[in-house]
Amino acid sequence: MKRIVLVTGANKGLGLETARQLAREGARVLMASRNKERGTVAVQKLKDEGLDVAFVQLEVTDDTEVDELVEHISTDYGKLDVLVNNAGIMHNGEPGGVNTAEIVEAEVLKETFDVNFFSLVHLTQKLLPLLKKSESGRIINVSSILGSNTVQSDESSPWSGIKPFAYNASKAALNSFTVHLAAALKDTNIKVNSAHPGWVKTDLGGKNAPLEATDGAKTSVSLSSADFTGKFVHNGEEIAW
């Protein structure tokens, strides 16, 4: 039986490419998008490539849509093998290249954490019963090296000067969730890891990024079959939390 995979934020960029690569490996990929029109277009693009994909509606901050998606997966597939928590934002209220710790507005923090952390934790918890029915469940939390406190506190690191506080803090919180969930599930068939895709040419990464989405998706795809848990990884190399 094919692996059943859910990729959130799959209508463009990293999510789209992650869905493509996992489908090429033979999985049936459920491509979640909050925008039905864009999501349907993305799904059709991959179907035209001969891939087994399907659109699913999901605004990650909408509890009703989360419940409906969980019910859909349960009814139609009875399990979930891989969850790629890819959906995320960098709020346009955070100026690029600025340390926003002194100026970030509470609403920007709340909105960033709502998408990047709170809704992700909620969705993952709702899907755990289905992941536990898989012979080898995998949860991949798409994080960022900007969420590494080790890197952020190292002034010699080229990443340490990039300090949009709300975004970085949300990814640090996500990494903490990875550590805690991996420990909670250590005696189960589920592995939980964080992925740093790299600096990728996406709406978030910008056109000057050195990596294409094809390369950025590789870490998440490799983690879908990883035999370790509770790690923060980029292209097979572990990153300090």
Catalytic position from the list 55, 113, 165, 167: 167
What pLDDT, on a 0 to 100 scale, did the predictor assign at position 209? 59
What pLDDT, on a 0 to 100 scale, did the predictor assign at position 95? 75
What pLDDT, on a 0 to 100 scale, did the predictor assign at position 32? 98
What pLDDT, on a 0 to 100 scale, did the predictor assign at position 199? 66
Angle ∠(145,100,210) on CA atoms, nearest 5: 35
Q: What is the dihedral sign for C-alpha 106, 126, 178, 81?
A: negative
The number of angstroms, rounded, from the C-alpha of 65 to the middle of its chain's C-alpha atoms is 18
- The total of other beta-carbon atoms located within 10 Å of residue 226's CB is 17
Give me the average pLDDT of each 10-residue run along the chain (241 residues): 95 95 98 96 98 98 98 98 95 84 96 98 98 98 96 92 94 98 97 88 60 83 98 95 97
Does this model's pTM top 0.85? My answer is yes
The partner residues of 5 in beta bridges, in order of sequence, read 29, 82
Q: Could you give the CA distance from residue 170 to residue 102 in angstroms, rounded to a whole number?
A: 16
What pLDDT, on a 0 to 100 scale, did the predictor assign at position 6? 98
Domain containing residue 213: CATH number: 3.40.50.720
Annotation marks residue 77 as catalytic: no
Please give the tally of structural domains in the chain: 1
Q: Could you give the CA distance from residue 198 to residue 91 in angstroms, rounded to a whole number?
A: 19
Q: Which domain holds residue 120?
A: 4-238
Q: Could you give the CA distance from residue 117 to residue 181 in angstroms, rounded to a whole number?
A: 13
Fill in the DSSP letter of residue 193.
E
